[in-house]
């Protein structure tokens, strides 16, 4: 799995020797003749000053995007922790993560402890007393006492409470665990902590759901996939079904998108941070070169649980006349029957089929409905498109067959189905979970609006 790539281990071992060369403080003439130990001391003072300054009353402290190495049996998502650092060595951490103990899981909790700047392998930020927010990730945990949602071999979650400085990224500070090497990023918080949590949850619910669980990862002409983004443990693969060599990425969510633990790539293009686009059509990487797009078009084309009904007012005169005749034929089968809707999807009766679905009222009061289905091919020829086609010998469900045995429904329905044949560009009302869409004919043709 990419997050356990040996390269990160090798890099982290070398960082202690080279990290200071890239730090502007050490390039100043004042420090040129200082010993390594004194340079580390001065750098630690500067790093602590940054932590404390962002923690002042005028600021909101830090969002700590915290990752663990995990275990061979189980991977874990990234976690949002929050911190305020004080000059006297105290630190207040907060979170609502799912591993909080003593009945506080998923509940906002604050805990104050102490921290220290060490110089063992270079600059180290050490949380060297127990803190309920963070230490749970580094707690070895007796395997016999491990929580049911935690696979444990005496290493717990393989998290770290000592963090080795890795570098600056603008105003952000990058660390990695001293023992297990997982990446940790400190980001200046821009709002009250509980607001950040609420806004992150709202964004998570906007871009993920239990209906659409796969995403296109698009870079130029290349397309790969993410699966199960909502879990925070993302499968990265070349195809959704039966992927050959999937990788596992760990991510943490923000009020604007999500961030992967490490930079990854498609060819020579790297990506790590994704932000929801203004038009909410996708999530864009930091340089806009990679897009993460939910597989909304596949959902519309292949949906099994929703019937997308046509707005009959948009039908051509020929189609309206056919529907009027179909309504008459329903009445011949049973005077209480009349046409209510016609759409694309899966019929609900015995021997259900996917394709063209007629929903009809089954009583004179028009309060009860049923469906009759005619098999019709709906495929996705390209991203964002639907192709509707017929073969002339489409199967029907039992309701359709029963009604057709006493009237001319089948011939009229096949004629109506043929009038829909064509390729359409799909314009959804929402890309992350469509509740309707427009079908725009490619070339000459009609426009249709579909709604549940």
Question: Cα angle vertex 61, ends 55, 67, to 5°?
Answer: 130
Question: Cα angle vertex 248, ends 267, 3, to 5°?
Answer: 80
CB of 135 within 8 A of CB of 100? Answer: no
Residue 70's pLDDT is what?
86
The structure tokens listed for 220 are: 């130029």
Q: Average pLDDT in the 146-156 region? A: 65
Residue 9's pLDDT is what?
32
Confidence category of residue 193, pLDDT binned at 50, 70, 90: very high
The structure tokens listed for 322 are: 């056919």
Q: What is the DSSP letter of 152?
A: -
Residue 151's pLDDT is what?
56
Give pTM, 2 decimals. Answer: 0.86
Q: Can you list the positions of beta strands (E) in 170-213?
A: 172-177, 183-188
- Whether 6 has a pLDDT exceeding 50, the answer reads no
142-156, 367-381, 436-450: lowest mean pLDDT where? 142-156
Measured CA distances, 195 to 150, 191, 200, 293 (Å): 28, 7, 8, 27
Residue range 328-354, pLDDT digits in tens: 999 999 999 999 999 999 999 899 999
What SS3 class is residue 288? coil
What is d(CA 366, CA 388) in angstroms, rounded to the nearest whole number? 30
Q: Average pLDDT in the 181-195 region? A: 97
CB of 319 within 8 A of CB of 417? Answer: no
- Whether 72 has a pLDDT exceeding 80, the answer reads no
Confidence category of residue 305, pLDDT binned at 50, 70, 90: confident
Domain boundaries, the chain: 2-190, 197-294, 301-451
Residue range 239-283, pLDDT digits in tens: 998 888 899 999 999 999 999 999 999 989 999 999 999 999 999
What is d(CA 426, CA 449) in angstroms, rounded to the nearest whole number? 10
Residue 380's pLDDT is what?
95
Residue 163's pLDDT is what?
97
CA 195 centroid distance within chain: 20
Residue range 417-427, pLDDT digits in tens: 999 999 999 99
Residue 17's pLDDT is what?
37
């Amino acid at each position: 799995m990419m997050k356990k790539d040996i390269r990160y281990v090798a890099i982290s071992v070398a960082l202690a020797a080279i990290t200071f060369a890239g730090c502007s403080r050490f390039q100043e003439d004042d420090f040129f003749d200082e010993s390594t130990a004194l340079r580390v001391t001065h750098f630690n003072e500067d790093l602590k000053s940054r932590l404390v300054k962002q923690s002042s009353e005028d600021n909101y402290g830090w969002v700590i995007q915290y990752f663990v190495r995990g275990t061979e049996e189980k991977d874990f998502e990234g976690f949002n922790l929050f911190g305020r650092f004080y000059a006297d060595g105290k630190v207040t951490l907060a979170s609502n993560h799912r591993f909080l103990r003593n009945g506080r899981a998923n509940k906002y909790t604050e805990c104050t402890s102490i921290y220290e700047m060490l110089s063992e392998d270079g600059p180290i930020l050490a949380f060297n007393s127990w803190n309920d927010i963070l230490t749970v990730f580094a707690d070895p945990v007796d395997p016999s006492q491990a929580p049911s949602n935690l696979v444990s071999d005496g290493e717990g979650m393989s998290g770290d409470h000592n963090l080795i400085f890795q570098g600056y990224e603008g105003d952000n500070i990058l660390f990695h665990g001293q023992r297990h090497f997982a990446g940790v990023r400190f980001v200046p918080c821009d709002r009250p902590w509980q607001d950040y949590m609420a806004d992150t949850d709202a964004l998570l619910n906007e871009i993920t759901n239990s209906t659409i669980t796969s995403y296109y990862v698009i870079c130029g002409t290349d397309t790969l996939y993410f699966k199960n983004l909502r879990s925070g443990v993302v499968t990265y693969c070349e195809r959704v079904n039966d992927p050959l060599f999937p990788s596992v990425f760990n991510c943490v969510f923000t009020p604007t998108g999500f961030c992967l633990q490490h930079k990854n790539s498609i060819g020579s293009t790297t990506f790590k941070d994704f932000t929801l686009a203004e038009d909410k059509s996708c999530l864009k990487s930091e340089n806009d070169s990679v897009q993460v797009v939910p597989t909304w078009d596949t959902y519309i084309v292949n949906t099994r649980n929703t019937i997308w009904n046509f707005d009959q007012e948009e039908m051509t005169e020929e189609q309206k006349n056919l529907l009027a005749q179909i309504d008459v034929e329903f009445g011949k089968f049973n005077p209480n029957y009349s046409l209510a809707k016609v759409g694309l999807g899966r019929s609900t009766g015995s021997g259900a089929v996917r394709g063209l679905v007629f929903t009809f009222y089954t009583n004179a009061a028009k309060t009860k409905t049923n469906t009759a289905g005619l098999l019709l091919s709906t495929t996705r020829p390209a991203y964002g498109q639907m192709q509707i086609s017929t073969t002339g010998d489409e199967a029907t469900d039992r309701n359709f067959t029963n009604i057709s045995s006493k009237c001319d429904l089948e011939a009229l329905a096949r004629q109506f189905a043929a009038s829909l044949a064509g390729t359409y560009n799909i314009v959804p009302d929402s890309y992350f979970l469509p509740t309707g869409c427009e079908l725009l004919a490619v070339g000459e043709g009609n426009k249709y609006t579909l709604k549940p």
